[in-house]
Amino acid sequence: MPEGPPLDRAAAKLWLQKWRWYHRARRPWNIAALHVELARRQAFARGALHGNVLQMLREGRLEIGPHAYFEPGVWLTSDAGRIAIGGGSLLNLNVMVAAVDAVTIGEHCMLANGCLITDGDHRFDDLDTPVPWQGFTSKGPVTIGDNVWLGANVVVTSGVTIGERAVIGANSVVTSDIAAFAIAAGAPARVRKSVRPD
């Protein structure tokens, strides 16, 4: 296996700067500060939260309601957008919420393992620029109403509104609005029936 180029002083310094940036959430004082911020909001994280959660909380770009609960591996991230998570909502293992502009999750929602909710779409149209450097576009904010249940590995894409008490089946991809009280599934997700008593 070929070896890489030698690590000179400038390259080592740059690597260390990147390491410190990407591991900032793991520093003991930042972990403690994050849990203090969560306690102020009466919220709780059972394990590490990933992304720039502490920064967003301090800047007022992340709103968390009382009794919201985060399982290990939850990732909340945004460079300049806003994320709001209602009280009593549960984000299970490895849920990711990413906001370009705005993602809102209502109260008492349940997001099962591996869900992805984002209002962003990665650009890829500039053939002269590497894809990771092209940034994001958005079709609009994502809004998830109160008491919504997203099954395991559901993906919610930009510009989507999911009405209150809707249920989205596991492994679905939500690309258009889902009405309140609907049960939807598939890729793309389609309404199958309603949970509203008739």
CB-side exposure of 73: number of CA atoms within 13 Å? 10
Residue pair 151/164 in contact by the 8 Å Cβ criterion: no
Assess whether 122 carries a catalytic annotation. Answer: yes
Residue labelled with tokens 């109403």? 145
Q: Check the CA dihedral 179-181-182-188 and report its sign.
A: positive
Number of H helices, E strands in the chain: 3, 21
Residues 35, 50, 67, 122: which is the catalytic one?
Answer: 122
CB atoms within 10 A of CB 153: 15
Residue labelled with tokens 């008490």? 165
Separation between Cα atoms, residue 154 and residue 173, nearest integer Å:
6
| Identity at 100, one-letter amino acid code | V
What residues are annotated to the active site?
122
